[in-house]
Amino acid sequence: MLNDYFSSVFIDDNGKLPGFVRRVSDSTCMDSFDVTPDRILFLINISKPGTSPGPDGIPISFIKQFKYELLRPLYTLYGHLVATGQIPAEWKLAMSLLFLKLE
């Protein structure tokens, strides 16, 4: 089921990482924290259910349900982002809505 969904949404994997254009100097790095599988699982586990999905449209309930299957791809992705110092532009955006309480 999971494979059918992802193969219908994403392109075939050729085994090569896409090229990333570095937007900061080579001396800038993100080495102040470590990405570990345990840390990823911890953050998934403390994520609040019912929150809005990110730009990928994947709800946290899906990520929580398949956290062990997603752990290796997430670890690879986050490790690559830390190693290259790249953060996708979509991850830097947020929409905040203010709801006023009725008295």
11 or 88, which is more confident: 88
Specify the pLDDT at position 75.
Answer: 94
CA dihedral for 24, 33, 71, 64, sign (positive or negative)? negative
**Predicted confidence (pLDDT) at residue 35 exceeds the cutoff of 80:** yes
- Given a cut of 80, whether residue 58 has pLDDT beyond it is yes
Q: Which residues of 46-58 are buried (b: 16+ CB within 10 A; e: fewer)?
A: eeeeeeeeeeeee
Digit-coded pLDDT (tens) for 3-33: 666 666 666 667 777 777 777 777 766 566 6
Confidence (pTM) = 0.58
- The residue among 90 and 80 whose pLDDT is bigger is 80
